[in-house]
Amino acid sequence: MSSFAPQVATLREPPPDPSKHVNYTLGMVLGVDDFTQEFAYLAGRDQWLARELLGYGTVCGLRVTIDSTSQGPRVAVGPGTAISPQGQLIRVTPAQCAFLNDWLAANKQAVLDRMDSPVGNAVTLYVVLCYRDCPTNPVPIPGEPCRSEDEMMAPSRLKDDFTLELRFTPPDQREEDAVRDFVAWLSQINITHAPSSVTLDEFIAIVRQAAAPLSSPPSSPPDFMYGSPPAALHINTADVCAYVRVALRLWVTELRPLWLGKEQSCGTPPDEACLLLAELYVPIVHVALTGALQVDDTRRAVVHEEHRPYLMSLRLLQEWLMCGHKSVGIQGSPGPQGPPGAPFIVAAGRFDAQGHTIFAFNNLSATQNVLNPRFYVLHFDGFRPSGRYMVKGTVLTRIGLSPQVFEVILEDNLPQLGVQQDAGIVVQVRDIGGNSITGEFMVEISEF
């Protein structure tokens, strides 16, 4: 008969509730679970305050660059700090790097599954930062006999750490996108010296109506505020404070809880714990002799940070509110409107043949049409389908190429391209023979 019996497995305790803290009472015997519970409460409140009152994003540093080395293109992330969507403080040090050709070799099949046909185009990658903690400082612990050496030691500390990844999909940042859409929608409202066109109650109803599509599953990427404010909506300068106040109250009490999603509630951390640092446009070539995928050296890999969330210190915002508006404006924001009827520039940009942004003023984007790659939809912050725009464009070319053409497409032709009339301004960029361009083009848009 065997003298040994199976060892009883230790039950895994559920995670501590961050809404509870220990009620210390004289004579109470404290154990590990009590100290764990108290830490969970204190750490949870810190994360709660950071997440709900500050937000999330890059705080300092973490610059993303692509440089050339003897091993091929390298993505580098500088040292810095950030707050995750769950309110966790993340510190990256020292600088981190990843060689793109090595990453492509390790993820070859996944890259091929996501590349356009024929092979040899490009892939979009996302630089994602996540928080994690690492067990460290092992110490011996008492326990049952007949344990392995690993079971006789346990980590006595948890060290704050991080992970940096290249992903094919961006992390969920619904609140960041919602904030941008909400502010962009409000900024389109005309401020005039005429009497306000609607009452406060009517204004609230208009804002609610603009957010109404969020009652159904959101689009991808989500559009949190539908369309633009009504053209007839305007607010008197003396009433701006009252109207902004009710709009922000609506954001806090209704829209923010709505946009967090039904599976989450106020005060509950989101499932996504990671943060977007950059979007990478990586041109790729398929090496016929070896079958390997490599970065195409004849085209440039580009870093896009337009959708990167970031946080500024209260001191910087304070200085800007007191003094910033008295000096120069922020580069990249639309300038003041000129006299009635005079044009003023509202957007500009430079794009490659696939519509990827190289430079953008006022978040101008150029989305390549899926039915015909010669056509692009131009969209920018504050775009109004009813607006009057003058569009100027040019193709960056060189001697020896056939003449290039840039032209604006009339609304009557949009249904043939599967484009809605309120999607943006549609342009065609081609050579004189009707072929798609292979280089870059620039655009300047003025409004009257």
Hey, how many other C-beta atoms are within 10 angstroms of the C-beta on 316?
Answer: 10
pLDDT tens readout for residues 105-159: 999 888 888 775 444 588 899 999 999 988 888 888 776 666 666 677 888 888 8
pLDDT for res 248: 93
Local structure of residue 14 (DSSP, 8 states)? P
* Residue from 220, 224, 132 nearest 172 by CA: 220
pLDDT for res 98: 93
* Residue from 178, 173, 164 nearest 211 by CA: 178
pLDDT for res 60: 95
Strands, sheet with 425-431, edge to edge from the N-terminal-most edge strand: 365-368, 375-379, 425-431, 404-408
How wide is the angle at C-alpha 407 spanned by C-alphas 405 and 411, nearest 5°? 150
pLDDT tens readout for residues 153-212: 888 888 889 999 999 999 988 888 889 889 888 988 888 888 899 999 999 999 998 886
Bridge partners of 365?
Answer: 379
pLDDT for res 156: 83
93: left (phi over 0), alpha (psi -120 to 50) or beta: beta
Residues of the chain with pLDDT below 70 are 1-13, 116-120, 143-150, 212-222, 261-271, 324-343, 398-401, 412-416, 421
pLDDT for res 204: 93
Q: Helix, strand, or coil here: 32?
A: helix
Give 161: exposed, middle or buried? Use CB within 10 Å, 0-12, 13-18, 19+.
Answer: middle
pLDDT for res 8: 43
Local structure of residue 325 (DSSP, 8 states)? G
